[in-house]
Amino acid sequence: MSGKDRIEIFPSRMAQTIMKARLKGAQTGRNLLKKKSDALTLRFRQILKKIIETKMLMGKVMREAAFSLAEAKFTAGDFSTTVIQNVNKAQVKIRAKKDNVAGVTLPVFEHYHEGTDSYELTGLARGGEQLAKLKRNYAKAVELLVELASLQTSFVTLDEAIKITNRRVNAIEHGELSVIIPRIERTLAYIITELDEREREEFYRLKKIQEKKKILKEKSEKDLEHRRAAGELLEPANLLAEEKDEDLLFE
Amino acid sequence: MAGRGELIAVIGDEDTVTGFLLGGIGELNKNRHPNFLVVEKDTTINEIEDTFRQFLHRDDIGIILINQYIAEMVRHALDAHQHSIPAVLEIPSKEHPYDAAKDSILRRARGMFTAEDLR
């Protein structure tokens, strides 16, 4: 396939302008994509780091929470069944919000509270303080986990976005699209060459014509001289000369 | 723009589920379906997988918490989940501390970075 050719277009000033604009467009597009890829990758790495930190922290928080659960069970007996049977409405829920990085929309979670503690009505009065501590620990764990979930969703979304952007960058750098910019450049070069050539031809032609005219003029003047010398030529009629005008009927 | 309120689901051993329910995340929807699953010694892998898939399909669940040792049992189902929502978080349990090497999410990143290093 002769993909290395130039674009078929008649070389004119207009074509040159069009090609210049197209070249600029393609180059700008490629640069923007690269910038976008870089920005996304940077944010990606930041988020990854934060995820790892947060997951380590979560490990600690969960251990504490599990410990306080064991303590509470020791004091209050096994209340698991009671808790599980008495589920009704959630007091902690989450909302999805949108964040934006380099033109990519990232989903993030925000937790909020709704309603009152449904376990207040159950017979969990025994073990009071420890139970309260337990609830606090798990509430803290939930908050941390919601933050972690936000980081994670951003992470996954960015992963996809970066893959897509890099695919497009690669298409421009190495793939079929990599012939477009050189192709436009070649077309531009061709147009400029043709225009220059034409100008030179015009100039040359004009010069030739001028020379010819000059020669013709010189020739006809020489002719004139000869005929005057030979007395053949009459003076051409002079409109301004005082002569009788034949068209006037009345004097 | 904030969306509708969504739930946090949990798939874990009895202690994990109890703890989080006390944290206030538990709910029964209008069909009396819970947003949690207590995994016991006799819970089958199929049950776990089914519940996990159900949670993924429910549009009122935004986050799924799952003990990592249980996640291991249904690793293929987790890896197949490519969307960002619901977010699946692997958490440690009393017997099994968190292992970053097993986490589905972090494994994705490692794949990405190999490609980065090659460039």
Smallest CA–CA distance from B91 into chain A, residue: A59
Query: Is residue B68 predicted with pLDDT exceeding 70?
Result: yes
- Is the CB of residue B69 less than 8 Å away from at least one CB of chain A? no
The arithmetic mean of pLDDT across residues A230-243, rounded, is 64
- Is the CB of residue B14 less than 8 Å away from at least one CB of chain A? yes
Q: Is B1 inside any structural domain?
A: no
Most trustworthy range by pLDDT among A21-30, A61-70, A210-219, B19-28: A210-219
Smallest CA–CA distance from A96 into chain B, residue: B3
Q: What is the pLDDT of residues A145-173, one digit of tens each?
A: 999 999 888 888 888 888 888 888 887 77
Residue range of the domain that includes B57: 7-109
Question: CB-CB: which of B3, B23, B84 is closest to A141?
Answer: B23
The arithmetic mean of pLDDT across residues A141-146, rounded, is 92
Q: Tell if the CB–CB gap between A84 and B21 is shorter than 8 Å.
A: yes
Which contacts qualify for B69-73: CB closer than 8 Å, 24 or more apart? B69/B93, B69/B95, B69/B96, B70/B11, B70/B12, B70/B13, B70/B39, B71/B102, B71/B104, B72/B102, B73/B45, B73/B48
The shortest C-alpha distance from A121 to chain B (Å) reads 13
Query: Is residue A121 predicted with pLDDT exceeding 60?
Result: no
- For residue B74, what pLDDT is reported? 92
Q: What is the pLDDT of residues A170-205, one digit of tens each?
A: 877 777 667 778 888 999 999 999 999 999 999 999
Give the separation between CA A144 and CA A135, rounded to whole angstroms. Answer: 14
- For residue B17, what pLDDT is reported? 93
* Contact list, A59 vs chain B (CB under 8 Å): 92, 97-98
Q: Is B31 inside any structural domain?
A: yes
% of chain B exceeding 70 in pLDDT: 88
Smallest CA–CA distance from B98 into chain A, residue: A59
Give which of A250, A163, A180, A157 is closest to A25, Cα–Cα: A180
- Say how far residue A182 (Cα) sits from the centre of its chain: 20
Smallest CA–CA distance from A50 into chain B, residue: B106
Query: Is residue A116 predicted with pLDDT exceeding 60?
Result: yes
Count CA within 13 A, CB hemisphere, residue A21.
6
The arithmetic mean of pLDDT across residues B5-19, rounded, is 92
Query: Is residue A14 predicted with pLDDT exceeding 80?
Result: yes
Split into its structural domains, chain B has a count of 1
Q: Is B11 inside any structural domain?
A: yes
- The conformation of residue A11, written as its DSSP 8-state character, comes to -
Q: Tell if the CB–CB gap between B65 and A55 is shorter than 8 Å.
A: no
* Contact list, A110 vs chain B (CB under 8 Å): 2
- Is the CB of residue B109 less than 8 Å away from at least one CB of chain A? yes
Give the domain CATH number at B17: 3.40.50.10580
A-B Cβ pairs (cutoff 8 Å, strict): 162
Do residues A86 and B36 touch, judged by C-beta distance below 8 A? Answer: no
| Domains defined along chain A, listed by start | 13-177 (1.10.287.3240)
pLDDT band for position B116 (cuts 50, 70, 90): very low
- Strand locations in chain A, DSSP E? 92-101, 104-113
Give the separation between CA A12 and CA A21, rounded to whole angstroms. Answer: 14
Q: Is B100 inside any structural domain?
A: yes
- For residue A218, what pLDDT is reported? 93
Q: Is B118 inside any structural domain?
A: no
Most trustworthy range by pLDDT among A108-117, A207-216, A221-230: A207-216
The shortest C-alpha distance from A126 to chain B (Å) reads 15
Q: What is the pLDDT of residues A46-67, one digit of tens each?
A: 888 888 888 888 888 988 898 8
Q: Is B116 inside any structural domain?
A: no
